[in-house]
Amino acid sequence: MNEIKYSGAEEVAWDLSDLYDSTSDPNIDRDLDRADRKAKKLAAEYKGRIPELTAEEMLKLLQRYEEILELSGKAATYAYLSWSTNTGIAERGALLQKNTERSSRLYQELLFIELEWAKALEDEARKLMDDPKLAHYRHKLEVTRRFRPYLLSEAEEKILAEKAVTGRNAWTRYFGEVLSSAKYELDGEALPQQVILKKLYDPDRDLRCRAASAFTQGLKQLGHTTTYVFNNILADKASNDRLRSYPGWISARNLDNEVDDATVTALINAVTSRYDIVARYYRLKAGLLGLTELFDYDRYAPISDTTSSYTWDQAKEVVLKAYQAFHPKMAEIASLFFSRKWIDAAVSPGKKGGAYSHGAVPSVHPYIFINFEGRARDVTTLAHELGHGVHQHLARKQGILLAGTPLTTAETASVFGEMLVFQDLVAAEKDPKVKLSMLVRKIEDSLATVFRQVAMNRFEDGAHRKRRSQGELTTEGLSEIWSKTQEDMFKGSVTLTRDYSLWWSYIPHFINVPGYVYAYAFGELLVLALYARYQEVGADFAEDYLKMLSAGGGVQPEELVKPLGVDLKDPAFWNQGLARIERMVAEAEVFYPGK
């Protein structure tokens, strides 16, 4: 395997000056103070009057509400982005905490807007929502009212918001800082998480085994902390759900995602019923690797030494070329992230692992965070996050209340961007061995996005239910749930070591956004359907696709994708995407003489 010692990403750091100049910039406090003053004035003028407002008054209220959220959101964005690149700097942590506390107080000041609106009588609310003057905000107004059965009094809501600062928000930050600063001892060297996990992709099986063992040893040392944090997150959610009378642990997340419990259950059932695809693939991979038994640390092993490495400039060229071929507007927007320094790509001490695109606020622009090390996987990660970035950039015109999308459709543009780049890379490759390696990587990405995420949803389901029925869970108890749900997915095709039972403990989604993970499967299967539609329709599809992205969160998900020929209510929808993954596995089997 070719290794790039210097990729060019080492100097790729974002420029946050479009937000603020530094953590000590006085404009941060000025904006927060302005937001507070505007909020107090808004409350003085409108509190207690929401159900009686005319359409014109409601429009002015919502516009002023957005102005306040912009000011607060801008400061919060800067604090989080700055902290992400070095979680060990005290000043950045302090700024993040200050923004968390100030945001909580602002939320409490403005809480009356959504509470009064949600509790307005149906006839009064419907009259306002049907008024053309409020057409832009109609979807937001409708979605807010869906939470009506689960809202508490204003005093109770304020208490919950206030206590969250030193409750779940504090635990979430603490978990992030602990994992970001953790080091794992491998061959006498202390390595951060993103570096040691990279070793699992190495062709040297002994190195993979040692890296997995070293990572587990590190997780064991953190076990008391991660178990305690997870228990507190589980208990906090159980308490909130009980106070609000949600029917299940996932119900609040489904409401946020704008899908009903039945739709999510259908997705979960469809995916878990096809775990045979996972087993079929990993049995194939064992054969491709020449192994009689595949262990958990073998899952991401390359099948040959012919995989490619990329410099930062090469990765940029690959992604922009694929975006340009689909639609020039996509490439035009994506190029801004490079030319205007909206990306932070260097791997550096104290930097969080993983990748994300932060939508920031509509008055500024999105920022992208990745850890680029020159792997082919890093190229597709770049394509993924730029997909998010393009989506967020196009949706800015909707304003801060409607720019964001529910998680179910938030992954659409990112996964679609990955697909465009993957198809380009495969089409350009002439070496059959490299093509097979690329196909294998794509299959593994799809398995991770669909089946692994649903298996993790099954782990969360077991953990939340057991925490509510049995009280605080032990590390061993959580590991038992993890092992069972992972074994269900692999169906005997992968031998899971005892060490692997602890690997639930480093996954941030369980802490940051409980219930989130199934949205990845939703997005992947949706994109497989959309890409098939693109192959049928051709260039005309691209225009409709960009219109969909530009709509942001202003349209119900099922209505959003209808113009693209997708029906989310069709029971066969999930099976179409699963069948596409199965076909990719069949394509890979052609290369293996043992089949």
CATH no. for residue 51? 1.20.140.70
Q: Of 312, 513, 288, which Cα lies nearest the Cα of 406?
A: 513
Specify whether 445 is located in the same domain as 553. Answer: yes
pTM of the complete model: 0.84
Specify whether 581 is located in the same domain as 460. Answer: yes
Whether 443 and 452 have beta carbons less than 8 Å apart is answered as: no
Rounded to the nearest 10 degrees, the angle between the axes of helix 539-550 and helix 412-428 is: 150
Specify whether 164 is located in the same domain as 24. Answer: yes
Is 365 within a domain? Answer: no
Q: Could you tell me the two tokens for 203?
A: 């062709």
Specify whether 471 is located in the same domain as 538. Answer: yes
Specify whether 144 is located in the same domain as 239. Answer: no
Dump the DSSP string for 71-132: HHHHHHHHHHHHHHH-TT-HHHHHHHHHHHHHHHHHHHHHHHHHHHHHTS-HHHHHHHHTSG
Q: Of 93, 72, 84, which Cα lies nearest the Cα of 23?
A: 93
Provide the domain count of the chain: 2
Is 546 within a domain? Answer: yes
**Domain at 514, CATH number:** 1.10.1370.20
Is 56 within a domain? Answer: yes
Is 235 within a domain? Answer: yes
Predicted pLDDT at 86: 93
Specify whether 450 is located in the same domain as 534. Answer: yes
Specify whether 130 is located in the same domain as 236. Answer: no
Specify whether 128 is located in the same domain as 271. Answer: no
Is 344 within a domain? Answer: no
Predicted pLDDT at 593: 65
Specify whether 299 is located in the same domain as 439. Answer: yes
Predicted pLDDT at 1: 45
Is 72 within a domain? Answer: yes
Bridge partners for 404 per DSSP:
none
Predicted pLDDT at 595: 53
Q: How far apart are CA 339 and CA 318, in angstroms?
A: 16
Predicted pLDDT at 591: 77
Q: How far apart are CA 137 and CA 551, in angstroms?
A: 12
Q: How far apart are CA 559 and CA 21, in angstroms?
A: 41
Give the helix/strand (H/E) hosting 206.
helix 205-221
Containing structural domain, residue 127: 19-172
What residue ranges of the chain have pLDDT lower than 70? 1-4, 306-307, 571, 593-595
Specify whether 452 is located in the same domain as 558. Answer: yes
User: Which of 172, 198, 218 is where one domain is finished?
Assistant: 172
Q: Of 396, 407, 409, 399, which Cα lies nearest the Cα of 136?
A: 399
Specify whether 484 is located in the same domain as 580. Answer: yes
Dump the DSSP string for 458-473: HHHHHHHHHHHHH-SP
Specify whether 499 is located in the same domain as 582. Answer: yes
Q: What are the angstrom distances between the C-alpha of 91 and each of 79, 87, 95, 98, 177?
A: 10, 10, 6, 10, 14
Q: Of 405, 367, 400, which Cα lies nearest the Cα of 386?
A: 367
User: Which of 156, 172, 188 is where one domain is finished?
Assistant: 172
Is 195 within a domain? Answer: no
Q: Of 569, 584, 528, which Cα lies nearest the Cα of 267?
A: 569
In sequence order, what are the residues at sequence separation of 6 or more whose Cβ sits closer than 8 angstroms to the Cβ of residue 353?
179, 180, 192, 193, 194, 197, 371
Is 526 within a domain? Answer: yes
Whether 553 and 139 have beta carbons less than 8 Å apart is answered as: yes
Q: How far apart are CA 2 and CA 375, in angstroms?
A: 9
